[in-house]
Structure 1
Amino acid sequence: MLEKEIRLGLTYDDVVLVPAKSQVLPSEVDTRTRLSRNIQLNIPIVSAAMDTVTEARLAIAMAQEGGIGIVHRVLSPVDQAAEIDRVKKSESGMILDPITISPDQTIRDAHDLMAKYRISGIPVTKAGKLVGILTNRDLRFESRRSEEH
């Protein structure tokens, strides 16, 4: 590899930020960079792919701020795919393909979906149209979870 192709790379321990006044306004700074030919980051921050660091929750937060989270591999393929699904469903702060429930499903069904996907609310749809939203607050004191409706 040619010497001019080797670029400086820094890790967490290589940088110390000291609070101080600056002559540069935040709006004048461009921190964009490329992780790969097809992936641009708005901030040059990548979380560690460690089992104690990055799962869906951090990957979502990183993406919302302009960085990227690499989900660790100490998961079964099914669990790893589920983590990635959670991240993909939260792209751009808008859920593109939300988990929904129909008015015909039970409170238990809603509770199970909310627990499975770690969400606090679920849209209620009928024939693809929104008819309501069920939240964990609505379910807090509900005791009829196994009844039909």
Structure 2
Amino acid sequence: MLTACNLRPLYAGGVSGAVATELGYVEIEPIAGKAGWLTRNALKDQLEAFEGQQAKYRLIVELEDKIAGFGVRSNDRITRERRTLRARYQLVRLADSEVVLDATAGSDAGIDVVSSEYATLAAEDTALENLAARVANQIVTRLSLFARNQAGVAQTP
């Protein structure tokens, strides 16, 4: 029934399917900073099941992590912050160093600023962990779509 409406499962075939095979060819470059470390680990966690083949692609990720206060009381104390994590990433084919995918991902989170500085810092760290996971998920989803298209091209005579 799915083929009648032109829907195809993205991960058809599981870890031996075409998408999983292509994702297994991706190596992730180190990413600078704490946000980079968290994002790279989240990417590795999601791509780990597909590892095993020799790399054909290199994933390069550049992050921008910002915190901005926007809720202000009459005494000029900030009551709310927005943490934003944006990623620009490129998938480079190792054979000829051609950029085959150039895209962006991003997410943001609101943080309450409370009287306890420790609680606010903990909330900022938690927000960063969650944002890194969301951004990594967006990147892996886009890589999966790329991999499906590559597999489709490879199967076409």
The alignment's TM-score, normalised by the length of structure 1, stands at 0.20
The alignment's TM-score, normalised by the length of structure 2, stands at 0.20
Q: Which has the higher helix share?
A: 2
Q: Which has the higher strand share?
A: 2
